[in-house]
Amino acid sequence: MTEAEKMPMIWAIRGCSTRPILESVFEKFGVNETQVKVDALIEAMYKPDVFFSSGEMDINRQYETLLGAFLTGIWKKKETEV
């Protein structure tokens, strides 16, 4: 996915407030791979410094962790800084 193709998806993700809505955005853009979802969430949250303190975490767990952080909305504070 090119940068030009990716940005509409990132903007759509930023407008999501629930898991079903977020999953429908991924479906609309044809995103099925968990790694792509993880990368998109990180980008949508303005690339926060992310670490997974439990050591090696499989990609599905990374997604669930990021999804939880995304749905809290705390990342939206960055929108005023960007």
Q: Domain residues of the chain, as ranges?
A: 3-80
- Residue 52 has a pLDDT of 60
Tell which residue, 82, 67, 80, 77, has the closest CA to residue 16: 67
Percent of the chain with pLDDT over 70: 87
Cα of first residue to Cα of last residue in the chain, in angstroms, is 23
Alpha-carbon distance of 36 to 25, in angstroms, equals 13
Mention every residue, 6+ apart, whose C-beta is less than 8 A from residue 32: 26
pLDDT tens digits for 15-30? 999 999 999 999 999 9
Give the Cα separation of 69 and 64 in Å (integer). 9
Q: Determine the Cα–Cα distance for residues 2 and 61; give it in Å rounded to an integer.
A: 26
Task: Give the pLDDT score at 82.
Answer: 57
